[in-house]
Structure 1
Amino acid sequence: MTTSASDRSALGAFLRARRARVTPGDVGLPSGGRRRTPGLRREEVAQLAGVGVTWYTWLEQGRARNASDQVLEAVARVLRLDAAEHRHLMVLAGRGTAPEPGPPMDLRPEHTVVLAKMLPYPAAVQTDCYDLVAANRTYRYLFADLDTYPVEERNCAWLMFTEPSWRNSLVDEDTVLREITARLRNRQPEHRDDPRWNALIARLRQESPDFVRYWESYEVAADRTQQRRYASPRVGTLDVQFQSLWLDRARGERIIVMTPVDHTTAQRLERLDSLVGAAPAWTARSDSADGSAAGA
Structure 2
Amino acid sequence: MHLNNNVTEFILLGLTQDPLRKQIVFVIFLLFYLGTLVGNLLIIATIKTSQALGSPMYFFLFYLSMSDTCFSTSIAPRTIIDALLKKATISFNECIIQVFSLHFFGCLEIFILILMAADRYVAICKPLHYMTIMNRRVCGVLVAMAWVGSCVHSLVQIFLALSLPFCGPNVIDHYLCDLQPLLNLACSDTYVVNLLLVSNSGAICTVSFVMLIFSYITILHSLRNHSAEGRRKALSTCISHIIVVILFFVPCIFIYTRPAATFSMDKMISVFYTIGTPFFNPLIYTLRNVEVKNAMKKLWSKKLISDDAR
TM-score in terms of structure 1 length:
0.24
Q: Which has the higher strand share?
A: 1
TM-score, normalised relative to structure 2: 0.23
